[in-house]
Amino acid sequence: MHGKGNKGEGCFRNDNNGGSFQQQKRLRSYTQVSNSQAGSSQTTQVDLHPSTRDMGTQCEESDVLWHSTPLSPVSSLEPLDDQEESYDPFDESEPMSIDDFLSDDGYLEDEPGCQNPQANKYIVCHSELMELFCTCICGEWAEAAIAKKSGTFIEIQQRLNKVIDVQLVQSSEVPNSSWCELEGLKRSIRLFSDNDMSVDVLVMDHNRQVAKWVREQLGPQGTRHFNDVWHCGKGLAKKLDTVSRESGCEDLALWKQSIVNHLYWTAASTPDANPDLMEAKWKSLVNHAQDIHKHGTEVFPSCLHPPLVGQGRNKQWLIPGSSAAVKLEQVACQPLFVKYVRQLSPQHQTYSLEAFHSLILKFAPKHMGFSYLGMYTRQVLFCVCV
């Protein structure tokens, strides 16, 4: 008789001298089946693996009878192949565990096609990036007490609109919580380098600490660093709101939206990201608001719009030398802000990441604290779902 044992193929001996009562009962049933087939010169293949019930870490044999299938006639019940004749599938000296069923030939293993494709979806996102790409990056950390615990660094591939990396950094890993964004960026760049990938364009909100590291470490490698226009415009609008509340500067409230729109136009109308041209376009705003449209610069000598008369003017010009004009020049020509304008991104922005931050609050609200593993799993779960 031929059957399958713990490891590969084995042979069965007609020996009922030992074993439990239940085993002897099954053995007698097997002998009766063999004797009944002896007259017809047929033998029977018996599946020595009984039906099992999953018990978590072990399997328990059920009381279901053996299933048999007729085979070709054989002369005698001799051992097959080169297996040991002393093998007894019912020997209790070595208890059978679930690991014994997982043989090298794949017994009781799932078919490759039965694997859940969603399980490796997050890992596949990393292997898809095999060429240069434009990445929008923005560090986010929760406010108040939660900000001191951890920070999330997320990268979104702009063209594919896919999350390609998530880094969760605890403040205990860095000198203070303000370093979380830089540490997350370092880990992401290290991941790309390990996979022989380089970053061509890096777009993110303005962070002087991160900007310095990118300039020193990634600049020599050819990475171009741009600032997001939306973050710049948001900060500019807040400054204009503050200045417009001062005495004599009320007219700036009417100009606020036009000034922010001019910032967007400065970046969008310079596709080659020429920093000198963007600076000249931006500073022309100060003259334009005072009805001065000749600027005396080589890269941008005059305004591009036609003469504004009648319906073209929807607000009063600022009086040269007035408090409003002086304050506007101070805000627009601040050296640090001008340096920010010179690095505005002409094409790719971080709006995808801002939408990501809005939706992820459903998975990880800022007013709730989570463990490191809890926060990381929530971040990855959302990345897989989107």
Give the C-alpha separation, 53 to 58, whole Å: 9
Interval 126-168: pLDDT, tens: 444 433 344 444 444 333 323 334 455 555 455 556 777 888 8
- Whether 115 is in a domain gets the answer no
- Whether 32 is in a domain gets the answer yes
Give the C-alpha separation, 135 to 126, whole Å: 13
If asked whether residues 331 and 199 sit together in one domain, one would say: yes
- Whether 224 is in a domain gets the answer yes
Place of tokens 């059920």: 62
If asked whether residues 90 and 218 sit together in one domain, one would say: no
Tokens of 129: 């990036």
| Burial call 116-141: b when 16+ CB within 10 Å, e when fewer | eeeeeebeebeeebeeebbbbbbbbb
Evaluate if residue 125 carries a pLDDT over 90.
no
Interval 301-315: pLDDT, tens: 999 988 877 655 678
State the Cα torsion 193-196-200-204 to the nearest 10°: -30
If asked whether residues 155 and 97 sit together in one domain, one would say: no
Of 56, 88, 109, the one marking the end of a domain is 109
Domain span at residue 102 reads 2-109
Interval 45-63: pLDDT, tens: 444 444 444 443 333 444 4
Of 109, 134, 149, the one marking the end of a domain is 109
- Whether 60 is in a domain gets the answer yes
| Structural domains in the chain (count) | 2
Give the C-alpha separation, 378 to 360, whole Å: 9
Q: Is the pTM of this model over 0.75?
A: no
